[in-house]
Structure 1
Amino acid sequence: MEPPSGPASRRHVPWNRLLLAVSLLTFWTPPTTAQPTIETMPPLAAEGSDVLLLAHNVAKNPLGYAWYRGERVDNSQLIASYRVDTNATTKGPAHSGRETLYPNGTLLIQSITQEDTGSYTLLVTNDDLRTERQTGHLHVHPVLPTPVITSNNSNPWEHKDTVVLTCGPETQNTSYMWWISNQSLPKSTRLKLSEDKRTLTVFNVTRKEKGPYVCETRNLVSISHSDPFTLDVLSACTTEGTGPQRPPQEVVPLAALSPRPPYLMPGHQLPSTRNYYTPTQMFTVISATKQMWVLSSSRHVSL
């Protein structure tokens, strides 16, 4: 009886042949075709401006292009299509009258608005009837209006009232900055900004903080400044460190007074304070000359 035969011997392939096979496979792998891409120009689109959706890496000999609103190829959202062989452009249901499709596949949108923000899809049909598509996104930034400063109290009393200044209107993605007397806000415990910096609070206001104030707003595409705003800070003093305000004085002809003041001779002194009247107002004599009397019309002043 013959002994059982042993297992068949394995054939070993040399490593140099395996490396050669891998190298050949790598060399024979067909190159990948670059996909179309969409670039927005300018990158930051401001409301009211014109914008281009540039088509890059498009096939050299395409049969045509088509642009759609949104992320899907939907005929109801077709903006426009272009056939290369006939040089013909066809407008779709989503065409607003502001779009132009160029022979290189670029789409121009004029006078863009906030409603133009969204996705746009480019469909490219190649000469072998294969199609490629790419979606891009357009974001329209608003141009900021001129801001306006409002106050809870435009006539505050010095060292007493707190004033709250607000910069409006409120808009999204907007930064706010305040200026006082053409300078940035000084560091002070009596000045406080809100978290979004739209509101400036002035505690125990003084005439040093009367302004003028200017509010600045800015976003990615625009900067705007308010008109100067000045507080009318009320005080019992004409200037800091002086006494009470002196009543206004008026010069009244002698003939206008009744009863007529006594004639003042040179060297004579004025009599004690006395009131005189015009048809509509009472006066108190505070000084005199031969023809004119300087009078106070608001309060009695002792001489």
Structure 2
Amino acid sequence: MEPPSAPGHRGHVPWHRLLLAVSLLSFWNLPATAQITIESVPFNVAEGSDVLLLAHNATEDTLGYSWYRGERVENNQLIVTYRIDTQAYTQGPTFSGRERIYPNGSLLFQNATQNDTGYYTLMVTKNDLQREIVTGLLRVYHPVAKPIVEANSTTVTEHEDTVVLKCLTNDTGVSLRWLFNGQSLLLAERIKLSQDNGTLTIEPVRREDAGHYQCEASHLGNSSKSDPLRLDVKFDSAPGSSSGLSGGAIAGIVIGVLAGVALIAGLVYFLFIRKIGGASDQRQLTENKSSDFNHSK
């Protein structure tokens, strides 16, 4: 009969590889006097994740395993039992459908809840019917809530404005850190954090400060990041110039305009003189023709 299993969970971890390695070490490499121990993997788990109560130091002379909720072996607190030789299991009164027991005695919780927090007892029954009992602790915490980043302004002017960013979270006891464009923020003389890291101040702001800011809240091995907040920094291409053009560029434009005006004026003058000269020559030619005509009469 197959070990009990819960419905598939999206965040399921491939525990079978870890269990195989542990089983091999347990049977081949450990001394016969080694005591059964329980390890929570991970040690602290966020609600909704999977967690394994890993049984160490299982031996070949084991007949079966029984898991109980609490610190004592009580039938009304039985979760599940597993017999190795027949591969048979029996569900107890506290079995929720999310537990799965493995042939080496380890117990997997899928989609753990805060109600799963507490002590669990493993009873190992040997082939000679001797029993070994060990207790372990499972800790399940609320996942860290997604923080929010707020700013006094998201569009600022270089060298003039001060930016104040705040990381807002309803969780207590969390650690905060800041990220800039997806990387850990590097502090500088202008860039400072409050004592609790909840407030980031940039004074004065510079163009290189433009980008995306996030804060990350973490607690007991799980964390959550805020959505990115974009900061835009306005700046002049040349400081001290309202037009954005250097003095040399302005002088060049003025000289070019004056040269163009002079060229046009010269061209107009040339055409005007040429027109006047052409009219005078035409009048003189007409007079000469008239005089020659009179003489011929």
Could you tell me the TM-score, scaled by structure 1's length? 0.53
**For residue 177 of structure 2, what is the amino acid of its counterpart?**
Y
Using CA pairs below 8 Å that are at least 6 residues apart, which structure has the higher relative contact order?
Answer: 2
Q: Kindly tell me: are residues 186 and 210 of structure 1, through their superposed partners in 2, closer, same or farther at Cα, counting changes over 3 Å?
A: same
1:179 aligns with 2:180: yes
In structure 1, what is the equivalent of residue 20 of structure 2? none
What displacement does 1:99 show? Answer: 0.8
Aligned residues: 213
Q: 1:268-287 maps to which residues of 2 (within 5 A)?
A: none
Q: CA deviation at 1:35?
A: 2.4
Q: What secondary structure, in the 3-state scheme, does the structure 2 residue paired with 1:230 have? A: strand
Once the two structures are superposed, the pairs formed by residues 104-123 of structure 1 within 5 Å of their partners are 104-123=104-123
How far apart are the structure 2 equivalents of 1:69 and 1:44? Answer: 18
One-letter amino acid matched to 1:66 = S
1:214 Cα offset (Å): 3.4
Question: Alpha carbons of 1:52 and 1:209: their partners in 2 closer, same or farther (altered >3 Å)?
Answer: closer
Letter in 2 for 1:242: S
Task: State the distance in 2 between where 1:40 and 1:83 align.
Answer: 23
Amino acid paired to 1:50: D
**1:102 maps to what in 2?**
102
Q: Which residue of 1 aligns with 2:54?
A: 54
Deviations 1:111-145 (A, max 9, x none): 33444343221012334443221112233466656
Give, in whole Å, the separation in 2 of the partners of 1:181 and 1:112.
30
TM-score, normalised with respect to structure 2: 0.54
Q: Taking structure 1 as reference, are residues 42 and 214 closer, same or farther at Cα in structure 2, changes over 3 Å only?
A: closer
2:93 is the counterpart of 1:74 = no
Paired position in structure 1 for 2:241 = 242
Which amino acid counterpart does residue 52 of structure 1 have in structure 2? L
Superposed CA deviations along residues 8-47 of structure 1, whole A, max 9, x for unmatched, are xxxxxxxxxxxxxxxxxxxxxxx99432112334566565
Q: 2:76 aligns to what SS in structure 1?
A: helix
Unaligned runs of 5+ in 2: 1-30, 245-297
Structure with a larger share of its residues in helix = 2
Distance in 2 separating the partners of 1:240 and 1:76: 79
Identity of aligned residues (%): 49
**1:88 Cα deviation from its structure 2 partner:** 3.2
**RMSD of the alignment, in Å?**
4.1
Give the AA of the match of 2:109: I
Matched AA of 1:148: I
For residue 238 of structure 1, report the CA deviation from its aligned partner.
9.0
From the superposition, tell whether residues 214 and 63 of structure 1 become closer, same or farther in structure 2 (CA, over 3 Å).
closer
Return the alpha-carbon distance in structure 2 between the equivalents of residues 200 and 146 of structure 1. 18
Q: Is the alpha carbon distance of 1:87 and 1:229 closer, same or farther for their aligned partners in structure 2, counting shifts above 3 Å?
A: closer
How much does 1:91 deviate? 1.5
